[in-house]
Structure 1
């Protein structure tokens, strides 16, 4: 063991809660093992020699039948369930890439559980979560579903050679690589429909029949993202790519055990809708989908991602219908969403917030076209239940339908002159996410804007102050500060007083760290990984956010099941004493992190 191992454990929970002496003892007694890519860490049923902690690399865990359960990264532990049972592995594990693991001997693991409360709470809690957590596509990553190291060929490979490779490997597609990057995809259907049916010579290059530049997903995509993209575009194979490098491929067969018919059905129906009324009919079932997902025990970010996926597909379908009516667009454009849709956090109550970013150099005719397109899409979204934005933050507002150069000027001006309006607009626009059109119009703009914002201390100070405008509903004597009058008297606004304060904190962390993530939970995770927040404070904030957001969604699901329209106003009197106590503790954590931001402790200067 080296000093690096000691430093590694000092940053890793629950070891960071132990004394220096205990950590040094762990380091002295632990072993370091290195496992080559594809090598076994342990087999199912094997007697475990301790707790495995991943220091570098990744480990894939499978159940007794060989189904992938998870893909674990540095900092994750494995083997604890077996150690807490009969001492035998209840799963199998293999290294995905060259990996280094620390093994805490079995007796050390058990002695730490007995003597160290923080250690015991962590692993007992993890065990309970593993036993009760529902298995679903919304909670599994694409990397856990994909076949790693897929069979490949080059564009010059002949159709005969490609067919033989598929036959010999018992697969239905080949990934076509050129210069180490994914250039195309060829399937059995391509071989039959394009080569065999057209009687092409056997030495025909595969480039002639492949699908060039196929749709892909990043490794952090969820199984639901895979399923929804397949449903929308009728795909049977979906490569997983990171930084241009091919990691693996997911097929429809891989999804069989994880089918999520409710959300996938809505996505497929929306993608095939012939008109706006058909889209509206699909959207009318979103509340029931939300209630079912919450009732099945899915965490808030899984539910809101599924709800937002439907909105994304509805938006793209409206863009297609608009182009069928108006004709093809005269120039490149990008339709982007902000607000909850931009952050992939839509619930049962969502208006629309969107903008159009256009190619530079357009004439009046082109501008009129995009004004008509914006009207068609925004009217369609309103008909589907995504009501017009009360603040007119929509592409129908000429201010938010502009060439990319104007958008650059907008951001530069807001950063250089952080007035109250500029702070408000920047808060909204830093949550932009591409939905349809040409995403390259946004890529460079986002990176440049984040760099400008992070480099302007005056702007970030103003944004930090703006992030503290939404207070938590904490009252005196361990009670809640509820709304005092009006239709929502004696309730807590779980959006503006619960979720929004964390959304604001996440946005600030993203600005400080130049993090490109838009989703709040992803921003908090990224801030924790990058050291922008302290390990203890960051984990507490994540737990507090999960509790507040889950409580908000359960409230909406209860309303839907009772036949009511969902809202964000929760009467605390309906909660048990236990629930009220934990919810209050969550608000205390959020308020503490707001205070840390105010005092400069929550972000690194």
Structure 2
């Protein structure tokens, strides 16, 4: 494993499991004696197996000895650091290192899915870091103090991706890293714009990202898709400031290098900035009349994820979406019918067929060839099953757990999806190398014989999945 790959290791596999613990109400002198006897520098205080605080030898020096307190009169809860900064055992090492750097701490408690203590990770457990790492870049983003600084960091994200591609990092990890870094840039920009120019802005709104950004599946083509949801009873003055903020924010986002959405799906535009009640009315319209435009808009919006502000708006709208789709299956059926129209570019004997003319002669559009069918088809099935959160892989696994897909189907779809996303990233990097804008078009002559065979298998899996969609949504009865 290369040094860069270490950063994508789950912290659970690196954390030390033999953590010494104590109770929060335990006498401090007992815990200090135990630390001396074991030769350790910290003890984690737990309640019902959940970590609630930590006591270090530094705490004993600074909070007890230097303060002139009598340790015999103190409990652990009197000096422990609480609330405790924790990290899930399935999170990546670079996220742990970012937390430690941001909070200026030297150790993190690692917890399982139920919040129970499973280990501890210290900065001394990581022997070295390289400057070209996601963790370092995230820290720079967090400390950026201007839009101009974020513009430079946006370029560095691209440079980091180019660097990491050559290290053998799994495509899934790389895509997740791109999405995470882009999230942090946008979130930091929102913080800067608000604090510098809109300190009086209402807090009763949510800035949400949509589409691939909402699913956390961005590659290098990162034109923005976003919206704003705000409280129903904002005053006219609050609405004016929110409108000014939205326009300012999106224009600044464009200025740092994030392209505008060609379809105008941006919070600066009035139709993508609405009250909660208005968004519910829009959803009613989309779901009741599944025209091609409404299907496109609805499908984009269904991937909403709160990046800044009150997440309660997102939760309420997702509940609304689930309830309406449960009562009316027509929208999802129309969505599925739209998906199966995008036929994979396979010719006689399953041979991959490239575009025959135009500027992309000899290439295939990897997104249209298969990625779109998988993401949108899986979304339609997931929404029908009441699964509204997560990205495409999460939804596939959720459909498997729900019995909609069997294990082999899920494995095949995930494999095809991952391979196609990897090719899409490769196409975008190739365009950059050639001095062009990142593109989804990949020339087939850049694939070797083995890769062309894998591409054929992936596209055949897309075709099989589309057949499954036809049956699942009974599209033959709709003429699809």
- Whether the 8 Å contact between 1:182 and 1:213 is mirrored in structure 2 is no
Structure 1: how far apart are the matches of 2:327 and 2:60?
53
Select between 547-556 and 295-304 the one with higher mean Cα deviation: 547-556
- Structure 1 residues 555 and 343: CA distance shift in structure 2, 3 A: same
Q: State the partner residue of 1:251.
A: 121
Q: State the partner residue of 1:430.
A: 302
Which of 151, 166, 175 is the aligned partner of 1:280? 151
Which of 154, 174, 184 is the aligned partner of 1:303? 174
CA deviations over 1:250-309 (Å, ceiling 9, x no partner): 534376158564222211111111101111111112222112221111121111111112
Structure 1: how far apart are the matches of 2:178 and 2:413?
24
Q: Return the offset for 1:316.
A: 1.8
Q: Return the offset for 1:429.
A: 1.7
Q: Return the offset for 1:571.
A: 0.9
- Structure 1 residues 537 and 384: CA distance shift in structure 2, 3 A: same
Q: Return the offset for 1:589.
A: 0.7
Q: Which runs of 4+ in 1 moved over 6 A?
A: 132-135
Unaligned runs of 5+ in 2: 476-480
Q: Return the offset for 1:592.
A: 0.9
Matched, 1:221 2:91: yes
Matched, 1:374 2:246: yes
| Secondary structure class of the residue paired with 1:467 | helix
Structure 1: how far apart are the matches of 2:469 and 2:224?
30
Structure 1: how far apart are the matches of 2:177 and 2:240?
34
- Whether the 8 Å contact between 1:341 and 1:353 is mirrored in structure 2 is yes
Kindly tell me the number of residue pairs found equivalent between the two proteins.
472
Within-5 A mapping of 1:176-575: 176-177=45-46, 183=52, 198-199=67-68, 202=71, 203=73, 212-214=82-84, 216-241=86-111, 245-253=115-123, 256=126, 259=129, 261-325=132-196, 326-327=198-199, 329-561=201-433, 564-575=436-447
Q: State the partner residue of 2:5.
A: 136
- Whether the 8 Å contact between 2:107 and 2:123 is mirrored in structure 1 is no
Structure 2: how far apart are the matches of 1:232 and 1:537?
42
Unaligned runs of 5+ in 1: 1-131
- Whether the 8 Å contact between 1:492 and 1:569 is mirrored in structure 2 is yes
Q: Return the offset for 1:359.
A: 3.9
Q: Return the offset for 1:569.
A: 0.9
Structure 1: how far apart are the matches of 2:64 and 2:357?
72
- Structure 1 residues 143 and 364: CA distance shift in structure 2, 3 A: farther
- Structure 1 residues 191 and 600: CA distance shift in structure 2, 3 A: same
Q: Return the offset for 1:590.
A: 0.7
Structure 2: how far apart are the matches of 1:525 and 1:139?
21
Structure 1: how far apart are the matches of 2:204 and 2:442?
44
Structure 1: how far apart are the matches of 2:401 and 2:128?
29
Q: State the partner residue of 1:24.
A: none
- Structure 1 residues 218 and 444: CA distance shift in structure 2, 3 A: farther
Q: State the partner residue of 2:478.
A: none
CA deviations over 1:490-523 (Å, ceiling 9, x no partner): 3111123232222112212321332344222222
- Structure 1 residues 514 and 277: CA distance shift in structure 2, 3 A: same
- Whether the 8 Å contact between 2:369 and 2:459 is mirrored in structure 1 is no
- Which structure has more relative contact order (CA 8 Å, sep 6+)? It is 2
- Whether the 8 Å contact between 2:51 and 2:117 is mirrored in structure 1 is no
- Structure 1 residues 278 and 508: CA distance shift in structure 2, 3 A: same
Structure 2: how far apart are the matches of 1:151 and 1:408?
51
CA RMSD of aligned residues (A): 3.4
Structure 1: how far apart are the matches of 2:69 and 2:343?
68
- Structure 1 residues 405 and 259: CA distance shift in structure 2, 3 A: farther
- Structure 1 residues 197 and 591: CA distance shift in structure 2, 3 A: farther
- Whether the 8 Å contact between 1:134 and 1:298 is mirrored in structure 2 is no
- Whether the 8 Å contact between 2:141 and 2:184 is mirrored in structure 1 is yes
Structure 2: how far apart are the matches of 1:514 and 1:138?
34
Structure 1: how far apart are the matches of 2:257 and 2:408?
41
Structure 1: how far apart are the matches of 2:85 and 2:204?
19
- Structure 1 residues 210 and 474: CA distance shift in structure 2, 3 A: farther
Structure 1: how far apart are the matches of 2:240 and 2:68?
48
Select between 550-559 and 585-594 the one with higher mean Cα deviation: 550-559
- Whether the 8 Å contact between 1:294 and 1:553 is mirrored in structure 2 is no
Matched, 1:584 2:456: yes
Structure 2: how far apart are the matches of 1:169 and 1:436?
45
